Structure 1
Amino acid sequence: MAYFCNLKLSAQNIFSVFITPWELHNLSFQLVSFDYSQLELRILAHLSNDDKLKARLIIDTDFFISLAADLLKKPEHEITHEQRQNAKQICYGILYGMSNETFARETQMNIIEAEQFVENFYKTFPTMAQYLVDLKRHVLENGYVQSIHGRPLYFDLTHTISNEILKARMERQAINFVVQASACDIMKVAMERINQILDRMFPFDLKIRPTSIRPVYLVLQIHDELLFEIEKNSRTNEILNIIRHAMEINDHINLSLPVQIKSGDNWESMVSIV
């Protein structure tokens, strides 16, 4: 039921095209976002069994400020927004196969500064760094990698090993797939779990319910985030807690899977509510 408006928007403002109607059949709805916190980093910490990375994710502080302080050898209160963003970018850049040159360009560092930043990152999490080396070796020897649920990605090694460009691309794709496919596995399981719970709570049976309109609808799944349209009524908090609990149930990795909840009348102006 989410409405679209002002579609001639730049990519920067794309969130604002998703709005919820003020009223529908005399019912008032809101958009609610359920977003996993650092899901891919938690998966990487689990797969690599890096105790330092796990400990950093468990602490209830801003992960990227804490990391930037470590990498730059500065107190956390001195870390700027730009430095926090650089720490965040190198974390996810590793998952997406970003080169030192690309990292330098994206963060407007010179190449020496970028290389030092990356080197400090690997020194901070040596077990994770070794896991990535081992993963690259595995795909070169076996020609495949798999997600935490065993979903495989196969590579043709015929010409890859003898071609450095193809080899580097395969290694990037292998790391990317293992982490992102595992995140996808977790999200798919959560979505199915939520759907089953909501079907039991609000069956499409007019003998049971006075209206065909549900008080909650899944609008979008975007990476690690689910966007719902939820009716504002006496059961709103119950629905919020049920969805978050269903997402945080964790049979996958040995770290918690915290979920942040935000709501608003459009996707751009959401505020944290829980």
Structure 2
Amino acid sequence: IHAATAAAIYNVPVGEITKEQRRHAKAINFGLIYGMSSFGLSRSTDLTLAEAENFVKTYFERFPGVKAYLDAIRKQAASDGYVETMLGRRRYFPNLKNPVNAQIKAREEREAINAPIQGTAADILKIAMIQLEPAIVKANLHARMLIQVHDELVLECPQDEMEATIHLVKDVMEHAYQLDIPLSTDARYGSNWAELK
């Protein structure tokens, strides 16, 4: 996503994107979810304020659906007092209907924009976790889930079952919930968390 964003903004093929261009695109992809301004983008990258302003302007010109989504979520959260994940889980924002002050309103707007995205990701991960345990048993593997960290699952398994466990976990996580775009996962392994490869 970040490389594709950089390619669109800088008008170059994806294969020619530099690490710096990808980093700028990543900053804006994630930053917009949290309401980052052009000033914030310039501070988090090596872009000048003018470059950051142009980057944001170009971003919204290239991806008008993002601006429409952000505006629609703000409007819906303000009128309904809540937003929903794709699976229907609600997050309430009582201060958007009757803002206490501008700072609280701005914070709740950022959270309302972020909640459907992060909340849906959390919902999908929980589904994967529920599906994973019986899949491990059915595959006659001895892996155990240890912890969830953001969008990651940490498991332990016997070394001779590592490849089978990796394949199973990736399959379960990538097919936990059907979306219009494919979900992809990465797997790392090691004898302890500090030595993951």
- Paired residues of 1:97 and 1:176 also in contact (CA < 8 A): no
Instruction: Please state how far the C-alpha of 1:269 moved relative to its aligned partner.
Output: 4.3
Aligned to 2:184: 258
Q: Name the amino acid aligned to 2:114.
A: N
Q: d(CA) in 2 for partners of 1:142 and 1:103?
A: 30
Q: 1:96 to 1:252 in 2, by over 3 A?
A: farther
Q: Say if 2:98 is the partner of 1:159.
A: yes
Aligned to 1:245: 171
Larger Rg: 1
Q: Name the amino acid aligned to 2:185.
A: V
Structure 1: 4+ residue segments shifted above 6 A: none
Instruction: Please state how far the C-alpha of 1:109 moved relative to its aligned partner.
Output: 1.7
Instruction: Please state how far the C-alpha of 1:164 moved relative to its aligned partner.
Output: 3.4
SS of the aligned residue for 1:123 comes to helix
Q: 1:76 to 1:189 in 2, by over 3 A?
A: closer
Q: d(CA) in 2 for partners of 1:182 and 1:252?
A: 12
Aligned to 1:127: 65
Instruction: Please state how far the C-alpha of 1:113 moved relative to its aligned partner.
Output: 1.0
- Paired residues of 2:39 and 2:49 also in contact (CA < 8 A): yes
Structure 1, unmatched stretches of 5+, are 1-62, 203-213
Q: Deviations over 1:169-222 (max 9, x none)?
A: 2211101111111110000000010012224455xxxxxxxxxxx731222211
Q: Name the amino acid aligned to 1:215.
A: H
Q: Name the amino acid aligned to 2:59.
A: F
Q: Say if 2:155 is the partner of 1:228.
A: yes
Q: d(CA) in 2 for partners of 1:104 and 1:82?
A: 13
Within a 5 Å distance, the mapping from 1:23-38 to structure 2 comes to none
Q: d(CA) in 2 for partners of 1:82 and 1:116?
A: 16
Count matched residues. 196
- Paired residues of 1:217 and 1:229 also in contact (CA < 8 A): yes
The equivalent position to 2:31 in structure 1, one of 89, 93, 105, is 93
- Paired residues of 1:149 and 1:185 also in contact (CA < 8 A): yes
| Greater percentage in strand | 1
Q: 1:170 to 1:238 in 2, by over 3 A?
A: same
Q: d(CA) in 1 for partners of 2:53 and 2:106?
A: 18
- Paired residues of 2:6 and 2:22 also in contact (CA < 8 A): yes
Q: Say if 2:117 is the partner of 1:190.
A: no
Relative to the length of structure 2, the TM-score reads 0.87
Q: Deviations over 1:80-120 (max 9, x none)?
A: 21221111111111122222222110103221111111121
- Paired residues of 2:24 and 2:45 also in contact (CA < 8 A): yes
SS of the aligned residue for 1:262 comes to coil
Q: 1:269 to 1:122 in 2, by over 3 A?
A: farther
Q: d(CA) in 2 for partners of 1:112 and 1:81?
A: 21
| Greater percentage in helix | 2
SS of the aligned residue for 2:147 comes to strand
* Same amino acid, percent of matched pairs: 32
Q: Name the amino acid aligned to 1:164.
A: A
Aligned to 1:218: 145
Q: Name the amino acid aligned to 1:155.
A: F
Aligned to 1:110: 48
Q: 1:263 to 1:132 in 2, by over 3 A?
A: same
CA-atom RMSD in angstroms: 2.2
